[in-house]
Structure 1
Amino acid sequence: MSDNSINKEKDQHNELNAVISITKEQIGTTEVITTFISPGGREVKVTGDVDEAMALALEAEVVEVDEETNARILRKTDLYLMPVFCFLYAVQFMDKTTNSYAAIMGLKTDLHMVGNQYSWVGSAFYLGYLFFELPASYCLQRFPLAKATAAFIVIWAITLMLHATPNYAGFIFLRVALGGFESAVTPAMVILTSQWYKKEEQFFRTAIWFSFNGFGIIFGSSIAYGISIHSENWSIEGWKVLFIITGLLTMVVGIVFLVHVPDNPSKAWFLTQEEKILVLNRIRTNNQGFGNKHFKMYQLKETLTDYRTWLYFTFAFLTNIPNGGLTNFGSILLSQDFNYGKLDALLMGMPSGAVELVGCILFGFSVKFIKHRLAIALFSIVISLMASCLLAFCDYDKKAKLTGYYLSSLAPVGMICCLSCFSSNVAGHTKKVTTNAIYLIGYCTGNIVGPQTFKENQAPHYSSAKIAMVACYSIALVNLSMIYFSYWRDNRIRDKLEAERIANGGPAFFMENQEFADLTDFENPNFRYAL
């Protein structure tokens, strides 16, 4: 930092030892309470348009939460919230992959699909996801979080049951609609995780609820298998029964979410007032709060000019080309490429769910020993690259190829890392919501492209799709390394600037409850990125 910047900051903060405070009367106003210089040398104005947590913070005494109390609050949070989070993520993944099971249960034949029409079944879901991602994210910011999420869940449950349609055009329309309504679930889960958990806890919790994608695979395959072996007992086609049953299960989860999950910790029915304050004090170190209902244009501009936003977008695009292919063609590969019968293909799909369920949790738990989550994610991408090579180049060895198919289920660890980075490393509520939305647009785009790499004329081996997986994971490995290095470098720069400022007699930035001022990570001098 230059001498001029230091002097400017010194002039702005001549009350070095004073405490800058926000009052209840100032909350929600546009009144400028204080200004300071960001780590990038930009003047930042703090107004009364702050985080929702500020109102509770003004009533609470800042206290150090001891280890025993911290563990008690964490256990209670896990007990009341994690089961619902986990089962929500299980049904959302089961719902989006139900068409893969339906494909070998007669869906393609009954709807007279030819050529690459089934590929568009997979892509259609993500087209809806893509077009509705930004509006869904805006709804989650503008309206009560848990209630808005529950509304999306109930509507997509109804949409899923309507998939028992008699024609291809109607089915494609419903896939687009389903993608649109499901687009809210991941950004909602990221925000909820950031509200309740400390930075160092978020990677493991994200890994737990995300890993239940694997449970969704096991559960969905089990339902499809049970329907298939009793197909003669149904008055309608088995694949239609599959969509109706999974839709009803999702409806139940949506209702439970509505009555059980609070919009933020200050409204938690299962916490006492004292415990709400303890949750608030627990998450102070995140330098973030519960959220802000106002869309802030300057934070949108900051998101679009933050190069890491586009690194995340590219990573999402690359890693979800393989995901989109395997999500929609997994059962078909097992049936055609691995030569399993219809029932055996449904059974053989279950181990991939078990690998994801157990593997993602173990990778998440390893953060207790390997403190850098990005290092863990890099290792998982290396495994995914090896798995795609086994799948692509080991046609002569069925066991090796099957090993590659199952190990590819560990690829979501990279996405888990990114989602946890959004909850811990992207501050400013509008910036967090927008970064998450842009990442998920990349996720959608990759999942749209993925099924198109499976060409009908290359069945049953689909060689170009497998080679595309190898290429995507290779580039993604470099991409994630760049994100890792950027966080490490920026932390060093911030530490150096703070040391220089103090050495030159400049003040350290301090404001009461500044963690809840809805500052972005670029604005807050005290913010450090979790690696």
Structure 2
Amino acid sequence: MADLHPSGTGNASSTSSETSNQRFTPVSYGSDDGSAEPGPTMSSMGPLRLQTNFDDHADVGDPLSDYENDAEYNRRDNLEGKPPRGGSAPRYTSEEESEVVRRFDRRLVPFLALLYLLSFLDRSNIGNAKIAGLQDDLQLTSSQYEWLLTAFYITYILFEWMTLMYRLVPPHIYISLCVCGWGLVASFQCLATSFGGLVVLRALLGITEAAFGPGVPFYLSLFYRRHELAFRNGLFISAAPLATSFASSLAYLIVKFSSDGPISPWRTLFLIEGFPSVIVAVFAWFLIPDSPGRARFLSRRQRVVAQQRLEENTVDYQQSYGSRFNWREILKTAADPKAYIAAFMFFSCNVAFSSMPVFLPTIIKDMGYTSLQAQALSAPPYLVAFVVVLLTAYASDRSRSRSPYLIAHALISSLSYLAIAATGYFHTHLPPWLSTFIRYISVYPAVAGFFSAITLIITWSMDNRVEKEGKGASIAILNIIGQCGPLLGTRLYPDTDGPWYVRGMATCSFFMIVVAGLAVGLRILLQRMNRAVVDSTYTIVQAGPVYRGEERDGLMGGGRREDLEHSTGDRRLVYIL
């Protein structure tokens, strides 16, 4: 007993500390100048403090603490519940991660969807304004109306490069300015007195919306893992059919109650549907977070988890947008054929995506309905599309697959357009009620198909990029090429082709077939690249060094596809198909 001495006690204490440091650390002591001070003996030391005892209160808006920014704390080994090489416990639980995702789902995605709903409403309500008196009051020809649609997409294409501004300007500032900008321009459309004035406003509207919409999927990728993105992009993009449905329903009410008002119904429509964006822009300034680490609606602990789960080494977005671009990644993306296959898929899908929302009220009116009935009947197809987009995106994320759903929707949409075109071509052989029924019912799968395809194309394009600059560049390429589709789509339904519009329907059918074909080609290409990545990964794993008694293939033990990512040290991906 007499042989026991302080060193023995110290060794025991040290051993105990090493085995329990996963959960507890002693309260630290230090001098004012930061030098280490000898602490008290174990017998006089105060109670131990939980290392994970972060206060779950709303420390909103504050950057992460120095400890949370520590490089060791953010080691990639400690992320997503994977055992670190030292065998220590994960830094957060699956319940914590799930709660963070739910917070983003409740507070971030719905608000972005609201913003996109407002933007798509302001861009597409010109179709409702046309049959509400716009064309008659301004004495627009069919060609001039097509130019109003085209002017929007010309500037929308020319300013696609502004997608990269999400990496240069704090998003809460940038998004707020975009929303306020398009709200003012959309409202000013009610003051137009000539074709020239309205075409200028449509061009300005294209600039303000190009600065926002195309970059939001990239912005969401800063908050979600890639197997989570399709559903969240679906929630965001599904605001488009919801906006079109809302526009038709609202147009019905506006036309009905303002027919005898002091100003024309179409002017009232532009004002009522445009100005709310200006008000919402104020809320966007305070509600949009710049990064997971600065989300006001997360507690301090949740901000740490939100950042770590993305396997990011840069915790603060302020550091990110102030840092230099990875130009090499941008050039690599610009030379990647996969980016252009996705872009031409987007181009083909946009032919239908850009034409149906702005022409459907006219198409339905030409089926024999009144203007008021056409406004009302334009809404239901988009409500169905809204539900289908969400279900498709959810299923795509659950199965971690994009191409099967994309191909299926493209084919269904193509067949629906073909049915409309064939019915119009052979209308003399069908009873009028039957041809009208077939054409209207076929609108439902046609619309649901191209909206779902758009969602999956955008998500698939970003799924297979690692660097933020690569994601931003892929979205820029996707939109620069893809948004040329509306230049064709907005000219598919001239008045001279009415009331059957066979040529326009057949063209959309063809391009949706092209979407399916390109998706098949991209899937085959990615399958081949996956086989090469997996083979090389296993080769390196087998020859790899041993880390604390654990071989490199232990990194692949999680059973999910992302466990292969980054394991070879050269940031190669296992591509999502």
- TM-score of the superposition, structure 1-length normalised? 0.83
Distance 1:319 1:77 in 2: 29
CA contact (8 A) 2:291 2:316 kept: no
Deviations 1:185-207 (CA, angstroms, capped at 9, x unpaired): 23332123211112221111111
1:138 partnered with 2:176 = no
The residue identity in structure 2 corresponding to 1:58 is A
- From 459, 464, 469, give the equivalent of 2:508: 469
The residue identity in structure 2 corresponding to 1:349 is S
The residue identity in structure 2 corresponding to 1:453 is L
Distance 2:441 2:313 in 1: 40
By how many angstroms is 1:58 displaced? 2.3
**Which deviates the most, 340-349 or 81-90?**
81-90
Cross-structure match for 1:528: 574
Q: Partner of 1:58: helix, strand, or coil? A: coil
The residue identity in structure 2 corresponding to 1:478 is G
1:103 partnered with 2:130 = yes
Flag the 1:106–1:271 CA change in 2: closer, same or farther, 3 A.
same
Distance 1:347 1:479 in 2: 36
1:81 partnered with 2:108 = yes
- From 369, 377, 395, give the equivalent of 1:366: 395
Deviations 1:38-71 (CA, angstroms, capped at 9, x unpaired): xxxxxxxxxxxxxxx9984627353524322222
1:77-476 alignment runs, 5 A limit: 77-134=104-161, 136-164=162-190, 165-284=192-311, 292-293=321-322, 294-336=324-366, 338-367=367-396, 370-395=399-424, 396=427, 397-410=435-448, 411-476=450-515
By how many angstroms is 1:479 displaced? 0.5
The residue identity in structure 1 corresponding to 2:576 is A
Q: Partner of 2:222: helix, strand, or coil? A: helix
Distance 1:271 1:155 in 2: 29
By how many angstroms is 1:503 displaced? 3.5
By how many angstroms is 1:466 displaced? 1.1
CA contact (8 A) 1:156 1:182 kept: yes
By how many angstroms is 1:125 displaced? 0.9
Distance 1:444 1:525 in 2: 30
Cross-structure match for 2:71: 58
CA contact (8 A) 2:215 2:472 kept: no
**Which deviates the most, 174-183 or 411-420?**
411-420
Cross-structure match for 1:502: 541
By how many angstroms is 1:527 displaced? 2.7
Flag the 1:368–1:328 CA change in 2: closer, same or farther, 3 A.
closer
CA contact (8 A) 2:112 2:236 kept: yes
The residue identity in structure 1 corresponding to 2:416 is A
Distance 1:317 1:526 in 2: 28
**Which deviates the most, 442-451 or 497-506?**
497-506
Say which structure, 1 or 2, has more relative contact order (CA 8 Å, 6+ apart): 1
CA contact (8 A) 1:317 1:446 kept: yes
CA contact (8 A) 2:348 2:515 kept: yes
Q: Partner of 1:394: helix, strand, or coil? A: helix
Q: Partner of 2:205: helix, strand, or coil? A: helix
Cross-structure match for 1:38: none
By how many angstroms is 1:468 displaced? 0.6
Distance 1:196 1:54 in 2: 21
By how many angstroms is 1:418 displaced? 2.1
CA contact (8 A) 2:217 2:459 kept: yes
CA contact (8 A) 1:426 1:521 kept: no
- From 464, 481, 487, give the equivalent of 2:526: 487
Distance 2:68 2:553 in 1: 21
By how many angstroms is 1:85 displaced? 1.6
CA contact (8 A) 2:294 2:316 kept: no
The residue identity in structure 2 corresponding to 1:353 is Y
By how many angstroms is 1:224 displaced? 1.0
By how many angstroms is 1:300 displaced? 2.4
Aligned residue pair count: 470
CA contact (8 A) 1:334 1:348 kept: yes
By how many angstroms is 1:505 displaced? 5.0
Between structure 1 and structure 2, the one with the greater Rg is: 2
By how many angstroms is 1:414 displaced? 1.6
By how many angstroms is 1:233 displaced? 4.1
Flag the 1:450–1:526 CA change in 2: closer, same or farther, 3 A.
closer
Flag the 1:520–1:96 CA change in 2: closer, same or farther, 3 A.
farther
**Which deviates the most, 340-349 or 316-325?**
316-325
Cross-structure match for 2:52: none
Q: Partner of 2:159: helix, strand, or coil? A: helix
**Which deviates the most, 281-290 or 443-452?**
281-290
Ranges in structure 2 where 5+ consecutive residues have no aligned partner: 1-65, 82-91, 428-434, 547-551, 556-564
Distance 1:451 1:224 in 2: 21
The residue identity in structure 1 corresponding to 2:574 is R
Deviations 1:383-404 (CA, angstroms, capped at 9, x unpaired): 1111111221123422221122
By how many angstroms is 1:523 displaced? 8.5
The residue identity in structure 1 corresponding to 2:133 is G
Deviations 1:302-348 (CA, angstroms, capped at 9, x unpaired): 11210011101111111111222212211111111x11110000000
By how many angstroms is 1:97 displaced? 0.6
Flag the 1:367–1:524 CA change in 2: closer, same or farther, 3 A.
same
Flag the 1:54–1:527 CA change in 2: closer, same or farther, 3 A.
farther
Flag the 1:57–1:414 CA change in 2: closer, same or farther, 3 A.
farther
CA contact (8 A) 1:325 1:465 kept: no
Distance 2:130 2:569 in 1: 50
Distance 2:496 2:567 in 1: 49
Moved over 4 A (4+): 285-293, 504-511, 519-523
Flag the 1:297–1:523 CA change in 2: closer, same or farther, 3 A.
farther
Flag the 1:208–1:74 CA change in 2: closer, same or farther, 3 A.
same
Over the matched positions of the two proteins, sequence identity in percent amounts to 20
